[in-house]
Amino acid sequence: MLTINVAVLLAVIIVVRLRRRTEARSRNDEKLTALIVLVFGILVAPTGFGQGVLNVVGELVSGINDSSR
């Protein structure tokens, strides 16, 4: 339960941070955003939602790979 709540909080933080203009971001700000997104991915990956996203992306990549042959 705690993992989902932290993941939701991080998702909100990510949306708020990415809504800012690109020109207003420093390199350290961008690194912090990347770190937050990485932690969010680690928290969401073992959940059912994360597994569903993994399956969808896997099917998409497989379809693109098969169409390029």
Q: Structural domain of residue 7, as residue ranges?
A: 2-67
Please check the confidence at residue 39 and state whether its pLDDT lies above 70.
yes
pLDDT at residue 2, rounded to an integer: 53
Between residues 1 and 11, which one has the greater pLDDT?
11
Distance CA 20, CA 35 (A): 17
Q: What is the count of structural domains for the chain?
A: 1
**Within its chain, how far is the Cα of 33 from the centroid?**
11
DSSP line for the chain: -HHHHHHHHHHHHHHHHHTS-GGG--HHHHHHHHHHHHHHHHHHTTSHHHHHHHHHHHHHHHHHHHHT-
Please check the confidence at residue 3 and state whether its pLDDT lies above 60.
no
**Mean pLDDT, residues 37-63 taken together:** 83
Whole-model pTM? 0.61
